[in-house]
Chain A
Amino acid sequence: MSANTAVAEKYRNNFLKEIEEQVEMGDWVKMCMQCGVCSGSCPTNFQSAWEHPPQELFMMIRAGKREEVLTSSSMWNCTSCYNCIVRCPRKLPITHIMHGIAEYAHRLGMAPKMQPTRFFSGLFWKNCTHTGRVNELKLSMGLYFKDGFVQGIKNGMAMQSVALGLVKAKRLNVMELFGGHKCKDQKGVHAMLKKAYEIERSRKTAKMAG
C-alpha cells in the first residue's frame, strides 16, 4: 500500500460502519467521549499496559485503522472483570465490545495466531460445546499442548504441583480424560448451536448487503 493511499484510507468512517454492523455492540463505538476512564480502570492495562487500551481502540476505529485494530492483541487482554462497563460515564458496554472486536478479528482470521488467550478462548468454547459441559482436565491439557508435544510436557510439568494439589483435594479427576461429564442430549445441543450460527451468519450477511 503506498503512503498516499494509506492517508486516503485514513479517517473515513467506513471501518466504523463495518464495526457497527459486524461486531456485537459495535454501534456503541461512536458514543465514546474519550475520557479514558476505561483505560484507567482496566486491571491488565495496569499490570502490563495494553498496546491500545479501549479508549484508543475506539478512536482507531473512528480513524479507520482497520488493520491495526483487527490484528491487535490488545482486546485479548480482557479478563472480563466488567470494571470498564460499570465505570463508563457514557454507559458503553465496553467489555462486550472488546469481546466483540476480538471475535470479529478471530472470525476474519486476522487475530494474532499464537495469542494465548485467543487460543484458550477457542479451546474453551469447543470444549464446553462438545459435550455441553466443560471438561477441565482436557481444557488444561489442550492449553499446555498448544505449542506442540514437547512444550506441552514442559508446561504440564510446570503445573504439576498445582494439578497434584487439586487431585489430592478431589477437585481434579484424572479419569476425566476418558469421557467425563456431559449432557445427555448432546445431539440437541449441537443441532441448536448449528442453527444459531446459521441465523447469525445470515443476519450479518444481510447487513453487509445493506
Chain B
Amino acid sequence: MAKHEYAFYPGCSSQKGASASNYLTSVESMCKTLDVKLTEIPDWNCCGASIGYAEAGELPRHVLNARNFALSEQHLPGQEIVATCAACWLGARETRERLTHSDTLMADTREALKEAGLTINEMPNVRHMVEVLIEDLGFEEMAKHVVRPLEGVKIAGYVGCQTNRPFGVAGESFENPVYLDKMVEMVGAESIPEYEQKVTCCGGALAFSEPEKAQAQIKDIVESAYDHGADMIVTPCPLCQANVEIYQGQINKRYGTKFDIPVMYYSQLMVVAYGGSAKDAALNGQVIKARRLEEIAAKPVKR
C-alpha cells in the first residue's frame, strides 16, 4: 500500500491534449517517487471555474462541485480530494465552505444532486497538491529523494493568485508566500525571495477575452523575473503557467521586448531533481523549451 492515498481531481486542463497535460505527466512521475497514490474520481466534471460567473449563478456552481464530492464519497470513501489545478481547488473548496455554513444551500444542493442519482453525506476535505506535499509529506521528506540537484539554476517562484487567495496555504502570507522559494531551494536551485511579482495576477481569463489587459500584467511578471536574473519561472497553477508562457511572443510584439523564459511547474523541477527523464518531467510539453533542465535531465544520476 502507498504511504499516502487521495481521491484525485485532475481538472479539465490536465486532460490528454489539453493545455496543462504536461502538469499531469510530471505530477504522476513525482507521486511515484514520493509513494503517493492518486485515484482519479470516476466521471468527475468541471468545477465551473471563477470565470463562469455570468451564467453560473450560486447554486448551479456549487452543485457542479458537489457532484464531484458525491462521486468521491461513493467510489473512494474516506479519502481526501486532491486537486492540482488552482481553480479546481478554489472552486471545490469554496463550495465546501459555503455548503458547510448554510443549511439551505446544503438542502438545495442535495435536492439538485438527486436528479443525477447522487447524494452527499459527509463533506470531504479538499486539498491542493502543494498542501499535500508541504503538510502531509514535508520538506524533509521531499528533499530525501533529490538525487540530481538543479545546481546553478536561478528560479523565480511565481505563486500567482488562486493557490494563494482567498484560502492559500496554511501559515503563508497573502502578500509574500515563501513556500515556492523553499521548494526551489529544496531541489537544489537558487531561489529569488525578493521577486516582487510573485503574487501578481496573470490576468486569468482576461488573457482570452481582453488580451491587452492581461498581457500588461504578464509583462510585469516576466520582466521582474529577468530583472532578478532568473533562468526560469516556476508556478503551481495551470492558468498562470499557460498565460505567462504562451503569450511571451505576443508581448514581444506589443512591447518590443525579447522575452523567452521557460515557465515550469514545481512538479517538473522535482521530477528532474528526483532523477527522472525529460519525458517523465514532460519537458517536451514546454512551448518555450527549458534547455537548462533538459541538460540536467540528460545527465546520469549518481545513486
Cβ-defined partner of B51 (8 Å) among A85, A124, A140, A192:
A124
Which residue from chain A places its CB closest to the CB of B47 in the assembled complex?
A128
CB < 8 Å A-B pair total: 223
Which residue from chain A places its CB closest to the CB of B212 in the assembled complex?
A48
- Is A99's beta carbon under 8 Å from chain B? yes
**Shortest Cβ gap from A7 to chain B (Å):** 33
Residues of B within 8 A of A28 (CB): none
Q: A43 and B200: CB pair below 8 A?
A: yes
Residues of B within 8 A of A170 (CB): 17, 21, 284-285
Q: A193 and B64: CB pair below 8 A?
A: yes
Which residue from chain B places its CB closest to the CB of A199 in the assembled complex?
B108
Q: B60 and A196: CB pair below 8 A?
A: yes
Which residue from chain B places its CB closest to the CB of A130 in the assembled complex?
B46
Question: How far apart are the CA atoms of A77 and B161 in the complex, in Å?
Answer: 16
Q: B19 and A166: CB pair below 8 A?
A: yes
> Given A194-B115, A197-B60 in contact, is the A80-B54 Cβ separation under 8 Å?
no
* Interface hit among A12-20, A51-59, A60-68, A112-120: A112-120
> Given A82-B162, A126-B55, A172-B19 in contact, is the A120-B43 Cβ separation under 8 Å?
no
Which residue from chain A places its CB closest to the CB of B23 in the assembled complex?
A171
Residues of A within 8 A of B67 (CB): 188-189, 192
Q: A79 and B203: CB pair below 8 A?
A: yes
Residues of A within 8 A of B204 (CB): 79-81
Which residues of chain B (88-119) have a CB below 8 Å from chain A? 108-109, 111-118
> Given A43-B217, A169-B22 in contact, is the A120-B17 Cβ separation under 8 Å?
no
* Interface hit among B28-36, B243-251, B292-300: B243-251
Residues of B within 8 A of A181 (CB): 12, 15, 18
> Given A124-B205, A185-B116 in contact, is the A162-B286 Cβ separation under 8 Å?
no
**Shortest Cβ gap from B177 to chain A (Å):** 12
> Given A171-B17, A183-B43 in contact, is the A121-B63 Cβ separation under 8 Å?
no
**Shortest Cβ gap from B223 to chain A (Å):** 14
- Is B146's beta carbon under 8 Å from chain A? no
Q: List 9 A-B contacts (CB under 8 A).
A: A43-B200, A48-B213, A82-B161, A83-B201, A103-B56, A117-B205, A128-B46, A133-B46, A134-B18
Q: Chain A residues in contact with chain B, CB under 8 A?
A: 24, 43-44, 47-48, 77, 79-83, 85-87, 95, 99-100, 102-103, 106, 111, 116-122, 124-126, 128-129, 132-134, 136, 139-140, 143, 161-162, 165-166, 168-173, 175-176, 181, 183-185, 188-189, 191-197, 199-200, 203
Q: A79-B161, A134-B12, A136-B13 are in contact. List 7 more A-B contacts (CB 8 A).
A: A77-B206, A83-B201, A86-B166, A100-B53, A188-B117, A192-B63, A196-B109
Q: 5 tightest CB-CB pairs across the interface, nearest first?
A: A173-B17, A188-B116, A121-B54, A81-B201, A80-B50
